[in-house]
């Protein structure tokens, strides 16, 4: 559509001269685009900031680990039908550990809230988890100090515990916790290790826990709910195989008939990612509609003004044609002018939208990233509107007859 | 032969009424002629000139420009010819009001796709030639009528076209200023260009070598002055 690149700069000069001579009109015309782009960029920036945060947080949950549980993480449809399910049991853990060939690591986990004490320090409502030595690999924790649970600790039901970073810091101000005895609930446990700090996920500390051997937990703790079994495969490409295998073993254990549905959930990080994407996808659709409507209205405004402008400048068009402008020269000139009007609104919209998004994100205590895609989206939308809105008036101008337009008063 | 028109006719359609403006003109013009077209108002002078300038196409007849038949060309092909071979000077100047003198003169060069630096150089030279070297950045409304017409002449000249067409170039100017403009035309003619000029004034026509008089869309007389 546009001719030689060297002329592109000229068209912008022409557009600038034309817009400068009607400052107020140009400003008002671009307002619709400005509002549309501001809306889109504000929400776009917000979602992007949230994305970065949420996807980052979700990646803390290992992508090569699945969790066998009673409840699915994302409940679709009837909530009540999950209520009557059986809890996941230790027997099922044993079956999975015994028959699974693809899983590289498997750990059970049961939990209860207990008060933890050391000397005068009291720390209430701490999640206490009963698990095995493989929990280190399935749930991605590593000892920062001391050691993790061993097979022997688990086999012998030793009265030992591994502390999460936050628990250790709260109970032991200056001293090293290793070898000390802490009271968990009503019993005393020897601290064998402290795990590396994991930070927060969605504002929740990941370091507030006490790990004890599964058997020890079972003997002394009560009031716990069902079990969660974590299974990890080192080779991510085998993840689906592992899930199939788990289903097979679980269905066999629970004697589920072929026509019946699973009555357990195999949870995985990507379910949450997917849920999040679905939610933001809907949001995106909504902004595209809202932003789209305001851009459409803005675009119609530009078309209208461009039609006026083409009529007013009939003589100019005649002069240009008389001295050798071809149709495509005139077409390009007016389309570029229309793009220029739209882009002024677009650029201001990008800046305002970016600040708008930053303000929303800072209310949520999230960071705003400067991203090229935001700028591209803003420019893309406004240029598109510019071309679409300017095409008809520009085409009208281009096909004007030189003589008639020259004699236009 | 630079220009050769045969049985040229132009009829305007005004609703149901046919208005014959040019009714069959045969004429040839050689390179470096200085021709004046005269005749009463409505006799078809401008219509003929617009066809010669490739601004308009004839309803009938043929037009050979530079041994090329241009009577059947499309819009863009005609634009190309106007750009390269023809320079127009109008009675009402027809400058772009928002652009300064330099930009106005650069315009034909923009459409021939010349690079910026080259354009500027050529436009400045053309403005110098018409004696406006010190008015390059004046806008049309900051110039006198004579100066505006000189800008328009510079614009017509800048591409060094074969033919300069001027439709009553002094019609809006007082006689002194008109004389100044005519001197510029003489220089252009001396430089080897072909000039075709429409006028109502005998003293203007006196500058030319040949006078063609039209009446009711036909040639009434065609006299060489040498
Ligand atoms: N676009 C048009 N539509 C209809 N009729 C036209 C048009 N242009 C010119 N005419 C008619 O054609 C005839 C010739 O017009 P033209 O402009 O060529 O005259 P002219 O000799 O240049 O006159 P003047 O000396 O007044 O400029 C006139 O009768 C005019 O009314
Ligand atoms: Mg006329």
Which parts of chain A have pLDDT scores under 70? 1-6, 60-62, 223-224
Nearest CA to ligand 1 atom 17: B46
Q: What pLDDT shows up at residue A73? A: 85
Work out the angle between the directed axes of helices A23-58 and A372-398 (0-180°, nearest 10).
150
Over 80: is that where the pLDDT of B26 sits? yes
Q: From edge to edge, which strands make up the β-sheet containing B17-29?
A: B17-29, B3-14, B60-65, B68-69
Q: How far is CA A105 from CA A98, A114, A142, in A?
A: 12, 28, 15
Return the closest-CA partner of residue B214 out of B46, B7, B31.
B46
Q: What pLDDT shows up at residue A205? A: 85
Element at A387 (helix H, strand E): helix A372-398
* Ligand 1 contact, B43 CB (< 6 A): yes
B162-172 pLDDT, tens digit per residue, is 899 999 999 99
* Structure token digits, residue B107: 């315009």
DSSP 8-state secondary structure symbol assigned to residue A238 = G
Q: What pLDDT shows up at residue B94? A: 95
* Structure token digits, residue A302: 């530009």
Give the helix ranges, DSSP H, for A59-146. Answer: 90-99, 135-138
Residue B26's CATH number: 3.40.50.300
Closest-approaching ligand to the CA atom of B212: 1
B62-71 pLDDT, tens digit per residue, is 999 999 999 8
Q: What pLDDT shows up at residue A3? A: 46
Q: How many CB atoms lie within 10 A of CB A293?
A: 12
Number of domains observed in the structure of chain B? 1
* For chain B, percent of residues with pLDDT exceeding 90: 90
Strands (E) in A225-339, as ranges, are 228-232, 265-268
Q: Are A165 and A198 in contact (CB under 8 A)?
A: yes
Chain A hits for B84, CB-CB cut-off 8 Å, are 324
Work out the angle between the directed axes of helices A372-398 and A269-312 (0-180°, nearest 10).
30
Over 80: is that where the pLDDT of B46 sits? yes
Virtual torsion, Cα A382, A387, A390, A395, nearest 10 deg: 180
The boundaries of the domain holding residue B119 are 3-224
**CA pair distance A376, B200, nearest whole angstrom:** 61
Q: What is the nearest CA distance from B140 to chain A, expressed in angstroms? A: 14
Chain B hits for A325, CB-CB cut-off 8 Å, are 79, 83, 111
Q: Mark yes or no for CB contact B111/A323 under 8 Å.
A: yes
Top pLDDT among B196 and A50 is at B196
3-class state of residue A393 by DSSP:
helix
Cα A107 off chain centre by: 29
Answer positive or negative: Cα dihedral of A222, A224, A225, A226: negative
Q: Mark yes or no for CB contact B94/A406 under 8 Å.
A: yes
Top pLDDT among B92 and A371 is at B92
In this prediction the ipTM stands at 0.95
Mutate to test the interface with A, among B12, B53, B84, B111 (most CBs of A within 10 A): B111
Q: Mark yes or no for CB contact B83/A323 under 8 Å.
A: yes
Closest-approaching ligand to the CA atom of B20: 1
Query: Strands B3-14 and A210-213: what pairing?
Result: unpaired
Q: Mark yes or no for CB contact B82/A324 under 8 Å.
A: yes
Over 60: is that where the pLDDT of B93 sits? yes
**CA pair distance A156, A218, nearest whole angstrom:** 13
- Residue B115 has its nearest CB partner, among A6, A21, A318, at A6
Q: What pLDDT shows up at residue A61? A: 67
Element at A157 (helix H, strand E): none
**What would you measure as the largest C-alpha separation in chain A, in angstroms?**
105
A315-373 pLDDT, tens digit per residue, is 999 999 999 999 999 999 999 999 999 999 999 999 999 999 999 888 887 877 777 88
Convert A362-383 to b/e letters by CB count within 10 Å (16 or more is b): eeeebebeeeeebbebbbebbb
Question: How many CB pairs lie under 8 A apart between chains A and B?
Answer: 67
User: Average pLDDT, stretch B178-196?
Assistant: 93
* Structure token digits, residue A24: 């107020």
* Structure token digits, residue A385: 């509107």
Chain A hits for B82, CB-CB cut-off 8 Å, are 321-324
**CA pair distance B39, B217, nearest whole angstrom:** 10
Chain B hits for A6, CB-CB cut-off 8 Å, are 113, 115-116
Q: How far is CA A76 from CA A81, A250, A286, in A?
A: 11, 21, 22
Q: How far is CA A376 from CA A1, A41, B163, in A?
A: 22, 10, 49
* Structure token digits, residue A36: 């549309």
- The closest-lying atom of ligand 1 relative to the alpha carbon of residue B12 is 4
- Phi and psi for B118 in degrees, rounded to 5? -65, -40
Pocket test for ligand 1, best of B13, B47, B170, B205 (most atoms within 8 A of CB): B47
Nearest CA to ligand 1 atom 11: B21
Nearest CA to ligand 1 atom 29: B42
- Residue A336: burial class (beta carbons within 10 Å; 0-12, 13-18, 19+): buried
């Amino acid at each position: 559509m546009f001719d030689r690149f060297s002329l592109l700069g000229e068209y912008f000069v022409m557009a600038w001269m034309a817009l400068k001579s009607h400052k107020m009109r140009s400003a008002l015309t671009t307002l619709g685009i400005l509002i549309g782009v501001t809306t889109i960029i504000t929400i776009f920036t917000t979602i992007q900031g949230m994305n970065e945060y949420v996807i980052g947080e979700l990646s803390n949950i290992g992508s090569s680990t699945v969790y066998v549980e009673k409840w699915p993480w994302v409940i679709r449809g009837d909530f009540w039908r999950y209520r009557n399910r059986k809890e996941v049991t230790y027997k099922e853990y044993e079956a999975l550990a015994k028959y699974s060939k693809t899983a590289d690591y498997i750990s059970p986990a049961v939990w209860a809230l207990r008060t933890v004490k050391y000397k005068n320090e009291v720390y209430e409502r701490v999640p206490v988890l009963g698990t095995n030595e493989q929990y280190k690999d399935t749930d991605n924790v590593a000892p920062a100090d001391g050691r993790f649970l061993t097979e022997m600790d688990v086999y012998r039901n030793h009265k030992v515990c591994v502390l999460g970073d936050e628990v250790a810091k709260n109970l032991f101000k200056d001293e090293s916790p290793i070898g000390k005895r802490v009271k968990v609930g009503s019993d005393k446990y020897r601290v064998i290790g402290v795990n590396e700090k994991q930070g927060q996920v969605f504002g929740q500390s990941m370091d507030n826990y006490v790990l004890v051997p599964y058997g020890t937990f079972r003997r002394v703790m009560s009031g716990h709910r069902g079990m969660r079994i974590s299974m990890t495969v080192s080779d991510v490409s085998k993840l689906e195989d592992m899930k199939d295998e788990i289903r097979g073993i679980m269905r066999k254990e629970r004697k589920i008939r072929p026509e019946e549905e699973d009555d357990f959930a195999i949870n995985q990080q990507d379910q949450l990612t997917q849920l999040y994407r679905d939610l933001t996808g809907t949001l995106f659709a909504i902004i595209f509609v809202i932003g789209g409507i305001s851009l459409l209205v803005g675009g119609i405004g530009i078309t209208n003004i461009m039609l006026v402008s083409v009529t007013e400048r009939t003589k100019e068009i005649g002069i240009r044609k008389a001295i050798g402008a071809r149709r495509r020269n005139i077409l390009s000139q007016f389309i570029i002018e229309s793009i220029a009007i739209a882009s002024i609104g677009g650029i201001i919209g990008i800046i305002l939208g970016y600040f708008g998004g930053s303000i929303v994100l800072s209310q949520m205590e999230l960071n705003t990233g400067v991203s090229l895609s935001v700028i591209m989206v803003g420019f893309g939308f406004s240029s598109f509107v510019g071309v679409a809105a300017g095409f008809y008036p520009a085409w009208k101008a281009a096909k004007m007859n030189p003589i008639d337009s020259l004699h236009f008063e | 032969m630079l220009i050769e028109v045969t049985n040229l006719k132009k009829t305007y359609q005004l609703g149901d009424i046919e208005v014959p403006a040019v009714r069959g003109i045969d004429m040839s013009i050689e390179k470096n002629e200085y021709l004046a077209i005269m005749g009463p108002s409505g006799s078809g002078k401008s219509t003929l000139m617009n066809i010669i300038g490739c601004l308009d196409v004839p309803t009938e007849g043929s037009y050979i420009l530079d041994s090329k038949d241009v009577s059947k060309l499309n819009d863009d092909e005609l634009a190309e010819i106007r750009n390269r071979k023809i320079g127009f000077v109008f009675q009402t100047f027809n400058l772009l009001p928002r652009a300064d003198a330099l930009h106005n003169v650069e315009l034909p060069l923009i459409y021939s796709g010349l690079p910026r630096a080259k354009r500027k150089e050529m436009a400045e030279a053309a403005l110098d030639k018409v004696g406006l070297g010190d008015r390059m950045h004046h806008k049309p409304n900051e110039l006198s009528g004579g100066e505006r017409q000189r800008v328009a002449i510079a614009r017509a000249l800048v591409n060094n076209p074969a033919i300069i067409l001027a439709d009553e170039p002094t019609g809006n100017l007082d006689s002194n200023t008109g004389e100044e403009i005519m001197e510029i035309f003489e220089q252009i003619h001396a430089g080897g260009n072909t000039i075709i000029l429409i006028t109502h004034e005998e003293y203007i026509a006196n500058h030319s070598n040949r006078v063609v008089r039209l009446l009711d869309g036909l040639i009434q007389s065609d006299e060489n002055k040498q």
